[in-house]
Structures are given as C-alpha cells and as structure tokens.
Amino acid sequence: EKEIKILAIESSCDETAAAVVVNGRDLRSNVISSQIDLHTLYGGVVPEIASRKHIEKINQVIEQALKEADMTLDDIDAIGVTYGPGLIGALLVGVAEAKALAYARNLPLVPVHHIEGHISANYIENPDLEPPFLCLVVSGGHTHLVRVLDYGKYEILGRTRDDAAGEAFDKVARAIGLGYPGGPKIEKVSHEGNPDAIAFPRAKVGDDVYDFSFSGLKSAVLNYLNGCRMKGIEIVQADVAASFQKAVTDVLVDHAMHAVEEYHADKFAIAGGVASNGVIRAAIEEACKARGVKFYRPSPILCTDNAAMIGAAAYYDFLAGKRAGMDLNAVANLKL
Ligand code: KG4
Ligand code: ZN
C-alpha cells in the first residue's frame, strides 16, 4: 500500500501551524506557533494582528514541520489546508500559502473544514477508531454534537444557540479577573475551589434536546458577581471558577449521554480546545464507562488548534477525491 504523505496547514485563528501526517494517522511532525502572548495584551484575539503574524510565521512553521518529519517538499503527496470557518484574514494566509505550494509543486490541494479537523484529531492517537461514532466538538468558536456517519460524512445533532463553550470560559475568566485565554486559567484555579459553592443554571433550550446555550450561564455568573459587589459579599474566585466549570460540564455530559442513549452509540469522542479540560474529560469518560461506551479524546495539544488534525482529515478527504483548484477561497462561516 502506498503511503500518502500530507503537508497540512492551519491558520484559522491565532495559531500558525503546519504538520506532516502519513496515511491520516501517523504523525511525523506537528509545529504550532501560538500568538497567545500577543493577544493576551488585548484580552482576546485581534483579527488584524493575527493575520499579520500568520504572514510572518507561516514559511518558518512549514519549513520546521518538513524538517522535523525529515522530509522535503519532494516527499509530499498532497497539501491540506483549513479554508473555514474562522477569521477571514487569518484563513486567507494559509489558503494562499497552500495554493502557492500546490501550484509550484503540482500537488493535489485538499480543502479541509476546521471542525472536521478537530473531529479527525481523534484518529491520530487511536488507530482503532473508525466511524460511526458520536463526537462532541467544544472549542472557542463552536459547540457541536455530531454523528460521524462515515469519513467526511456528518450529521449535526445540536449546536450552540449563542456563545460557544470556550467563549463562555473566556468571558467568565475575564469577569473574574483571570484574563485571556480563559479556559486553562479557569481550570487551574478551579482546583482550589468548591464546584458546589454556587448554583449556576444548567440551560435547557426549548424542545431541541441537543442544542446548547451558554450565554444564560455567562449572565448568571455576571449577575452573581454584581450581586456580591453590591452586597459587599466576598467573591471567592476559585469557587466561581469551579462552580461555572461544573455547570458547563453537567450540560455537556447531559447532552452527550442523551445522544449516546438515543443512537445506541458504542463509541464517543470529544474534540476542540475545551476538550483539553481535565474535569470535562474525566466527567464524560466516567459517564461513557458507566454505559459501556468506549471513550476517545485527543491529547490536549491535539485538542487546541493544530495542523496535525487537518492532515488527518485531509487524508480521508483525499481518498474520497476531494480537491480544490487555484480558485479556492477562504470561507469565514463555512458550514459542516
Ligand atoms: O479549538 P480551539 O483552540 O480554537 C477554536 O477553534 O476555537 O479552542 C480554543 C478555546 C478557547 O476558548 C479556550 O479558552 C478553550 O478552548 N480552552 C479551554 C481549555 N483550554 C482551551 N477551555 C476549558 N478548559 C481548558 N483547559
Ligand atoms: Zn479550533
């Protein structure tokens, strides 16, 4: 069987990343240049700064990925690239770079959906994982409960009606003075807090059992903080963090297990930046175990944005014959 070596590129938000993946699962290199320190100064991602930084870094990151894989462009069989969803200016840097490489080297160009990438991160460390399975994608921009019917074939069961889970982490972190990025900081301080200290709401969205809503929870936290300040009650940062994290966890587990039961799933995977949260991972794992469901999760470094996951997704898209031409454009609000 011929090996398909894919050079993958990801630049949809604030990570400039390149990776070499062989046959979708064998990770040869995974280079990530994070801009987090830069955006921390502003309390969040500044799109214009992200685009400029991608331009500065992208060639270096690609060279490094090839070098660490002990390859040159001569060894590469195809180029995979994220073309959406994401920040348009940031996406365009990766797409332009991928097109240039594909054109110059006469290589097939495989366009990859960012969420499909997150889901596919699970293939890298789990050689036994094959569709069908259920996947909960929780990131800074997305909260999707997905049925993975086959490679490249998805049915979205539910999505957030307002804020994404990671967005809620980031906003609550800012409100309690933790700064950006919120997820890892909330997780860290929550270890010293009591998750049952404050009863924040677990939102249900109408009859649509699989949809999520996190803006109500965020507002509840803000109201709680205001109430404390007005009444002169001390705010225990760790308790707020732990209680908020517990509320998010409960909702995610509830939706996930509802789907497991309805679809009689025997495999459940998580993905996206929020899936690197230890408390959330453990809770979903435990709920899966109790039901005899096999649980999959990428290593934390493959949960947050990276190009390895794009290389994994690109391989299956490549096998399915998916190709882009030189007219490939970035699509900020690309649908799965
Ligand atoms: O997948 P990702 O890197 O980028 C998007 O595609 O959005 O996800 C970033 C999000 C941020 O909102 C960040 O706060 C959140 O993932 N995140 C976490 C943790 N690490 C990152 N949320 C909760 N706990 C964490 N440990
Ligand atoms: Zn992402």
Going by pLDDT thresholds of 50, 70 and 90, the confidence category of residue 243 is very high
Do 141 and 213 lie in one domain? The reply is yes
Q: CA 56, CA 58: separation in Å to the nearest integer?
A: 6
Assess whether 52 and 151 both reside in one domain.
no
Asked if pLDDT for residue 298 goes beyond 80, the answer is yes
Q: Which of 39-48, 122-131, 218-227 has the lowest mean pLDDT?
A: 39-48
Q: Are 296 and 267 in contact (CB under 8 A)?
A: yes
The Cα–Cα gap between 249 and 262 comes to 20
Helix (H) or strand (E) holding 109: strand 109-113
Residue 325 covered by a domain: no
95 in the same domain as 79: yes
Are 137 and 33 within 8 A, CB to CB? no
Domain holding 258, by residue range, is: 131-298
Task: Specify whether 208 is located in the same domain as 90.
Answer: no
Ligand 1 atom nearest to CA at 15: 3
Taking residues 82-95, report their average pLDDT: 98
Decide whether any atom of ligand 1 lies within 6 Å of the 169 Cβ: yes
Say if residue 185 is in the same domain as residue 152.
yes
Among 36-40, 73-77, 310-314, the range scoring the smallest mean pLDDT is: 36-40
Q: Give domain status of residue 157, yes or no.
A: yes
Mean pLDDT of the chain: 96
Of the pLDDT bands very low, low, confident and very high (cuts 50, 70, 90), residue 311 is: very high
- The pLDDT assigned to 205 comes to 77
The count of domains in the chain is 2
Tell me if 179 CB under 6 Å of ligand 1: no
Calpha distance 190→195 (Å, rounded): 8
Mean pLDDT on 116-143? 97
84 lines ligand 1 (CB under 6 A): no
Higher pLDDT, residue 79 or 205: 79
140 among annotated binding-site residues: yes
Share of the chain above pLDDT 90, in %: 93
Please check the confidence at residue 37 and state whether its pLDDT lies above 90. Answer: no
| pTM exceeds 0.90 | yes
Same domain for 136 and 236, yes or no, is yes
CA 299 to centroid of ligand 2, rounded, Å: 14
Q: Ligand 1: does its nearest atom lie under 6 Å from the Cβ of 11?
A: no
Domain assignment present for 29: yes
Is 162 found in the same domain as 112? no
Determine contact, residues 50/14, Cβ cutoff 8 Å. Answer: yes
> What mean pLDDT is predicted for residues 136-165?
96
The CATH number of residue 21's host domain is 3.30.420.40
Report the atom number in ligand 1 closest to the C-alpha of 170.
14
161 and 267 together in one domain = yes
Within a domain: residue 335? no
- The pLDDT of 28-32, averaged and rounded, is 98
User: Per-residue pLDDT tens for 256-280?
Assistant: 999 999 999 999 999 999 999 999 9
More confident residue, 95 or 206: 95
Is the pLDDT at 296 greater than 80? The verdict is yes
The Cα–Cα gap between 109 and 103 comes to 9
Whether 336 is covered by a domain: the verdict is no
Ligand 1 test: best mutation among 169, 217, 281, most atoms within 8 Å of CB?
169
pLDDT of residue 39: 87
Residues 6+ apart with CB under 8 A from 150: 131, 132
36 pLDDT more than 90: no
Q: Could you tell me whether strands 26-34 and 15-22 are parallel, antiparallel, or unpaired per DSSP bridges?
A: antiparallel
- What is the pLDDT confidence band of residue 15, given thresholds at 50, 70 and 90? very high
Question: Does residue 91 belong to any structural domain of this protein?
Answer: yes
Domain identity same for 146 and 286: yes
Q: Is 278 part of any domain?
A: yes
What pLDDT does residue 204 have?
A: 77
Residues 72 and 93 in one domain: yes
Would the pLDDT of 329 be above 90?
yes
Of the candidates 274, 282, 269, which has an alpha carbon nearest to the alpha carbon of residue 304?
274
Q: What ligand 1 atom has the least distance to the C-alpha of 245?
A: 23
Is residue 334 domain-resident?
no
Same domain, 9 and 87: yes
The band of 40, judged by pLDDT with boundaries at 50, 70 and 90, is confident
**Residues 193-238: tens digit of each pLDDT:** 999 999 999 987 777 789 999 999 999 999 999 999 999 999 999 9
Nearest CA to ligand 1 atom 19: 183
Do 138 and 258 share a domain, yes or no? yes
